[in-house]
């Protein structure tokens, strides 16, 4: 398909300090492994996946606007890393207000030591998790297509290459702003902030300082996003400042993971030796990254106002988290001792490594009658006496509210998903895909697009991970 994608209005006009035109390097013998028809329909793209194969495997289109790689910098694992940039991502252009980006379509001026490619394994994980997060109602970049190829890519071992087509209103990162600040290029910094405000935050123009309004809003969106992650048990794995979306989207799926048995200190990324990006650290790292962004915007801000805005992150995050956990607990009202109820629960879950997703889903079936045994839930805990004491308090708390168990269960099942993309589920799809069978990706996508539904035919996807899942290890290698 040679439908031209136009550059995002205003982006190309920013000039060469911001992005470079790049000719993509097509994959050899490409196969359209998955085509996201629902998203294609949303974007009003004509034709089928096959029609798009050439374009989305990286074949240069003579009549199209040139693909662009953007430059950014960032802090990686807490350390200033200097210039990074789209080393393997290319912006094809925009359609229906959404940017279309190929990930893995060859070298760019920012590839540094990399090969510009992405492996099939990590591309499947990115494709599936983007759509799983969308199904969960969590802000995220999307995935339109996954193109596979027999082309060899070297990581620890030889693997095969793939290209994911990502879709988002914008792929702007905190790192785009850090780049110009740390180079002392304040005119470009202002140009970029103006571009972002005009396109994505136009209401900020009404404030006395639009740049401060921009920071305020990014702080709020980030607090909300991380509250979403914590509630669903999502660990990003590499919360470097260059992987933080200005729009508050989940961005750059690498060594992410969903909690299985609850462990607050869970580290999903085997390259994260210090546990900087553990589950429990994510909220604080969100703030750390916002400090990077605020610092980068300082030439456009009043320092005291910026500091005051950063101080609002913690209460905003706690309010967002409280809201989500009240919904997970099935509470309509807010009470001061609800946090104590929750922390006692976390202690019990931590002690027994109670499965996060299964527990919350089953909690919907809690019987609040005094003396009810709630046996199935109780069996999820090692400390049964501890659970009984907690259940007594929880039952009492529920009875202070004017709602039947059935009504509550219905509401809770819209907050506590039955299905999340556990590592072993992605792994099963990867193993089949390596044999050329992409059906499991399609099946997972179908179920994860509606993770709050029961899907009785796919109940096995909601089960505890098998023993072999413990041997799985995900790292920065992608
Ligand atoms: P990430 O850890 O995936 O967020 O990537 C950090 C930086 O490395 C970004 O600038 C990426 O574009 C770049 N990068 C990662 N993998 C590759 C690759 N295979 N080829 C080129 N650049 C890469
Ligand atoms: Mg990245």
Mean pLDDT of 404-417: 98
282 and 311 both lie in a single domain = yes
Mean pLDDT of 86-94: 97
Q: Confirm or reject: Cβ of 106 under 6 Å from ligand 1.
A: no
Q: What's the number of domains the chain is made of?
A: 3
pLDDT in tens, 2-19: 666 888 888 988 999 999
358 and 253 both lie in a single domain = no
Mean pLDDT of 293-318: 98
The predicted pLDDT at position 227 comes to 99
Q: Near ion ligand 2, which residues have CB within 5 Å?
A: 243, 252
pLDDT in tens, 186-200: 999 999 999 999 999
The predicted pLDDT at position 2 comes to 60
Q: Which of 323, 352, 373 is the last residue of a domain?
A: 323
Q: Is residue 478 part of a domain?
A: no
Which residue numbers are catalytic?
242
Name which residue sits closest to atom 12 of ligand 1, judged by CA: 87
Q: Which of 323, 342, 367 is the last residue of a domain?
A: 323
Q: Is residue 446 part of a domain?
A: no
The predicted pLDDT at position 51 comes to 96
Q: Is residue 458 part of a domain?
A: no
Q: Which range has the worst mean pLDDT, 58-67, 280-289, 445-454, 458-467?
A: 58-67
143 and 27 both lie in a single domain = yes
Q: Is residue 246 part of a domain?
A: yes
Contacts for 196 with CB less than 8 Å, ≥ 6 apart:
170, 172, 214, 246
pLDDT in tens, 420-429: 999 999 999 9
pLDDT in tens, 210-242: 999 999 999 999 999 999 999 999 999 999 999
Q: Confirm or reject: Cβ of 86 under 6 Å from ligand 1.
A: yes
The predicted pLDDT at position 63 comes to 79
CA distance 278 to 286: 12
261 and 386 both lie in a single domain = no
311 and 375 both lie in a single domain = no
Distance from Cα 390 to the centre of ligand 1, integer Å: 46
130 and 60 both lie in a single domain = yes
Statement: residue 1 has pLDDT above 70: no
339 and 311 both lie in a single domain = no
Distance from Cα 6 to the centre of ligand 1, integer Å: 25
295 and 205 both lie in a single domain = yes
pTM across the whole model: 0.98
DSSP 253-306: -SS-EE-SB--TT----TT-TT-TT-GGGHHHHHHHHHHHHHHHHGGGS-HHHH
CA distance 386 to 390: 6
Distance from Cα 423 to the centre of ligand 1, integer Å: 22
84 and 55 both lie in a single domain = yes
Q: Which of 354, 383, 412 is the last residue of a domain?
A: 412
222 and 271 both lie in a single domain = yes
Q: Confirm or reject: Cβ of 114 under 6 Å from ligand 1.
A: yes
Ligand at shortest distance from the CA of 251: 2
Q: Is residue 31 part of a domain?
A: yes
60 and 197 both lie in a single domain = no
Name which residue sits closest to atom 14 of ligand 1, judged by CA: 87
* Longest pairwise C-alpha distance within the chain: 73
- Residue 387's domain comprises 331-412
Instruction: Answer yes or no: are the C-beta atoms of 92 and 5 closer than 8 Å.
Output: yes
213 and 246 both lie in a single domain = yes
Q: Is residue 454 part of a domain?
A: no
Q: Is residue 421 part of a domain?
A: no
């Amino acid at each position: 398909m040679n439908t031209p994608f136009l550059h995002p209005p205003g982006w190309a006009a920013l000039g060469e300090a911001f992005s470079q035109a790049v000719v993509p390097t097509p994959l050899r013998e490409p196969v359209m492994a998955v085509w996201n028809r629902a998203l294609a329909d949303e974007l009003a793209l004509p034709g089928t996946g096959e029609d798009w194969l050439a374009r989305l495997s990286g074949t240069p289109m003579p009549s199209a606007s040139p693909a662009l790689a953007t430059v950014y910098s960032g802090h990686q694992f807490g350390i200033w890393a200097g210039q990074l940039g789209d080393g393997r991502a290319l912006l094809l252009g925009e359609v229906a207000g959404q940017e279309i980006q190929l990930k893995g379509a060859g070298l760019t001026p920012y590839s540094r030591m990399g090969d510009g490619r992405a492996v099939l394994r990590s591309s499947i994980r990115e494709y599936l998790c983007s759509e799983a997060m969308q199904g969960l109602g969590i802000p995220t970049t999307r995935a339109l297509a996954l193109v596979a190829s027999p082309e060899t890519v070297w990581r620890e071992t030889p693997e095969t290459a793939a290209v994911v087509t990502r879709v988002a209103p914008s792929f702007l990162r905190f790192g785009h702003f850090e780049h110009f600040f740390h180079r002392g290029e304040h005119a470009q910094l202002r140009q970029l902030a103006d571009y972002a405000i005009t396109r994505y935050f136009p209401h900020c123009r009404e404030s006395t300082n639009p740049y401060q309004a921009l920071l305020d809003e990014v702080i709020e969106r980030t607090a909300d996003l991380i509250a979403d992650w914590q509630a669903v048990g999502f660990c990003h794995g590499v919360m470097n400042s260059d992987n933080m979306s200005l729009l508050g989207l989940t961005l750059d799926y690498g060594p992410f993971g969903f909690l299985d048995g609850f462990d607050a200190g869970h580290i999903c990324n085997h390259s994260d030796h210090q546990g900087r990006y553990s589950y429990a650290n994510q909220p604080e790292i969100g703030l750390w990254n916002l400090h990077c962004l605020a610092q980068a915007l300082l030439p456009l801000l009043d320092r005291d106002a910026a500091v005051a805005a950063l101080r609002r992150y913690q209460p905003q995050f706690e309010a967002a988290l409280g809201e989500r956990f009240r919904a997970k607990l099935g509470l309509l009202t807010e009470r001061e001792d609800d946090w104590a109820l929750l922390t006692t629960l976390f202690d019990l879950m931590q002690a027994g490594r109670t499965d996060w997703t299964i527990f919350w889903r089953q909690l919907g079936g809690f019987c609040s009658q005094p003396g009810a045994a709630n046996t199935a839930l109780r069996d999820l805990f090692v400390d049964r006496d501890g659970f009984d004491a907690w259940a007594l308090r929880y039952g009492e708390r529920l009875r202070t509210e004017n709602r039947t168990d059935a009504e509550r269960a219905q509401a809770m099942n819209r907050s506590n998903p039955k299905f999340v993309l556990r590592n072993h589920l992605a792994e099963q799809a990867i193993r089949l895909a390596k044999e050329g069978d992409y059906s499991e990706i399609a099946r997972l996508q179908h179920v994860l697009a509606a993770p709050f539904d029961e899907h009785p035919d796919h109940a096995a996807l909601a089960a505890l991970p098998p023993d072999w899942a413990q041997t799985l290890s995900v790292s920065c290698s992608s």
